[in-house]
């Protein structure tokens, strides 16, 4: 692909991500008073056994410091709790509270409806499958490149 075409792919990908994030975030804030970033953290907690801040940071490809601050905000609202990690005294295990589980169920349904509207509605099943495969492949290659010896920090 020529450089101009790659630049267009980059532009379309990044701009769509911005539109997608903003649309889903606005709907979640409107219907659940929950920003998308917090929902992402809550989904990571719910899907990760013995979840630690480090696990969320890895899952979401964000810094441990940023993750810790996000968890602090969610914990202050009563949606998650920390408990001692029996395997490592330096870290805590995160769990959703009952209120957090209820909010996750409600917000998850809103999230899914927005994804249906913004991804499934305009794309055929085949196009959506190809997009998912292409993004997963590109993401895996980028992660591998970043972990390679001599990769820039």
Stretch 45-68: mean pLDDT: 95
Stretch 101-108: mean pLDDT: 98
Render pLDDT for 119-138 as a digit per residue (tens, 0 to 9). 999 999 999 999 999 999 99
**Mean pLDDT computed over every residue of the chain:** 94
Please say if the pLDDT value at position 2 is more than 90.
no
Please say if the pLDDT value at position 152 is more than 80.
no
The domain 3-147 having CATH identifier 1.10.10.10: the answer here is yes
Query: Which pLDDT score, from 0 to 100, does residue 146 have?
Result: 87
Q: In b/e form, how buried is each residue of 35-72, taking b as 16+ CB within 10 angstroms?
A: bbbbbbbbbbbbeeeebbbebbbebbeeeeeebeebbe
What's the whole-model pTM score? 0.88
């Amino acid at each position: 692909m020529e450089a101009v075409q790659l630049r267009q792919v980059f532009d379309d990908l990044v701009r769509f991500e911005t539109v997608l994030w903003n649309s889903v975030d606005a709907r979640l804030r409107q219907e659940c008073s929950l920003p998308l970033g917090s929902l992402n953290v809550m989904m990571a907690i719910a899907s990760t056994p013995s979840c630690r801040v480090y696990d969320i940071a890895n899952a979401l490809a964000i810094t441990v410091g940023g993750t810790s601050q996000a968890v602090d905000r969610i914990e202050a609202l009563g949606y998650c709790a920390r408990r001692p990690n029996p395997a490592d005294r330096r870290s805590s295990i995160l769990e959703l509270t009952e209120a957090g589980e209820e909010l996750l169920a409600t917000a998850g349904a809103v999230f899914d409806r927005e994804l249906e509207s913004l991804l499934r509605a305009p794309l055929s099943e085949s196009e959506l499958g190809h997009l998912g495969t292409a993004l997963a492949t590109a993401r895996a290659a980028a992660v591998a490149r970043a972990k390679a010896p001599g990769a820039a920090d």
